[in-house]
Chains A and B, each alone.
Chain A
Amino acid sequence: MALDFKKLTLQDALDLAILVEQEARERYEEFAYQMSTHATPAAADFFRLMMTYEAKHATQLAARREALFGSAAVRVNRNDLWDVEAPEYDEARAFMSAKSAMAVALEAERKAFRFFDDALHSITDANVRALFEELREDERHHEALVIEAISKQPDDAAGAQFEGDEPVAQ
């Protein structure tokens, strides 16, 4: 179902933002597990780190939501969004390096920035606009952090150079 951003209330917008962070947390958790089972601990560690960041963001947003709206029923649901900040499933690859894993997170942060930026074109409610502008800037900040982390990684092309066996059915 396509979201109608014009109709979003601040409560809906906060709930949506929480779902975005929760979806990203779950995806990073899945990716960390995938890397663990494919003997790629450095990539697994990085995805685990991203998982904790996304969980923290979701918790912070949930606290704001509770302070403003208490336990009011949630009106948005998971089917209203797909992969806003969560990296897409086909971004993961067996035996990817930590640097490749960071590149996946970088694209995910940029994708989230584009989501909030695009949505802002349709949003008229001042409070919702302020929230989405804040979230958009958060994504820009996260992007910068990931770029910095990538710059500290040694040059590698571990995925391209890997000459071992392909993944094995388990």
Chain B
Amino acid sequence: MSTAAPLLAKDFKSDLKPIWCPGCGDFGVVAGLYRALAAIGRPPHEIAFVSGIGCSSRIPGYTTAYGFNTVHGRALPIAQGIKLARPELLVLCAGGDGDGFSIGGGHVPHAVRRNIDFTYIVMDNQVYGLTKGQLSPTSPKGLKTVTSVFGSIESPINPLLQVLSYGAGFVAQATPADMSGMTAILEEAIRYPGFAYVNVQSPCVTYGEDENDLKAHKTKMKSLSKMGHDPADYLKALELATHYGVELYTGVFYRNPNPPPTYDQQITERHAALAAGAPKRERVLDMFAQKP
């Protein structure tokens, strides 16, 4: 009996070449994802990769997985729908900070609380890059952009704190400045049985700030595991997440040590339970029809 050859990173690389600006952090993210997916070993045709709109949302097209570059901010509901319709698929969802936490922000708590088994990767660059550098929901206070020429007076959203407080079972942060660490985090997130969130600090080389580029990340990043953080400690994870935008912590903030049943598992079980006592499908209409 022949066994299938192990999957390689190149098996997940599509013929479509990325057209991000040279130096963009997203190049590293997609390269890390190729290797993470190869390590997981699910073939590309068993993966559905959904994104919204923005530079980073181009990412499904650069993989050989089934991809769906949807509409702005709506990646999460579509990923949820795919997972419920086809629970056997490995579902990934990706986008930028604007897509996820501004126009799509209303979908985040519901995706988290339902605990549908998929991974949400946000490439957080603190700016709207595709539309030429406007203020985004994670832009730091004081940032000067074309829509905040005197500096932003808004406080940024804290994505890590948001998803943790909504009850996400897996929350991590990574940077392409540490390719090895980022790849390991992506793999761990995808393997987590439930909703997993990875905030990738992926700087914009064109509209971002120099002090926040990947070279700066190398000096600023602090590994949570090296700090001795226990990912099972939810309260500590919340405290660490409050430093978003100030400290660049990388690694797993929180991993639920006892992952609860996922929504998709419960739906499958309920269908099975209800099906046992249900009338035959061809008799259902009769229940509503007036017999003469």
Contact = CB atoms under 8 A, between A and B. Distances in A.
A and B physically associate: yes
Interface of A: 1, 30-31, 33-35, 37-38, 78-79, 82-83, 88-94, 96, 166-167, 169-170
Given A89-B27, A90-B205, A167 B21 contact: yes
16 contacts: A30-B18, A31-B22, A38-B22, A78-B35, A78-B38, A79-B180, A82-B179, A89-B214, A90-B25, A90-B177, A90-B213, A90-B215, A93-B205, A166-B206, A169-B55, A169-B132
A37 B183 CA distance: 27
Interface in B1-56: 8-9, 17-19, 21-25, 27-28, 31, 35, 38-39, 55
Task: Please classify the interface of chain B as helix (H, G, I), strand (E, B), loop, or mixed, using the class held by over half of its residues.
Answer: loop
Contacts, number: 69
A73 B257 CA distance: 37
A92 B183 contact: no
Contacts of B184: 1
B43 to A, nearest CB: 17
Contact of B22 (A1, A83, A94, A169): A94
Contacts of A37: 19
Nearest to B55: A169
A96 B38 CA distance: 33
A169 B19 CA distance: 8
Contacts of A166: 21, 132, 206-207
Interface in B126-179: 129-132, 176-177, 179
- Among B18, B21, B28, B207, max chain A CB count under 10 A is at B21
A94 B27 CA distance: 14
Nearest to A83: B179
B162 to A, nearest CB: 27
A169 B130 contact: yes
A88 B205 contact: no
A82 B180 contact: yes
Contact of A79 (B28, B39, B215): B39
Contacts of B179: 82-83
Given A78-B38, A79-B39, A82-B179, A93 B23 contact: yes
Contacts of A94: 21-23, 205-206
B78 to A, nearest CB: 23
A92 B206 contact: no
A83 B129 CA distance: 26
Contacts of A82: 179-180, 183
A89 B213 CA distance: 12
- Among A30, A37, A78, A94, max chain B CB count under 10 A is at A78
Nearest to B129: A169
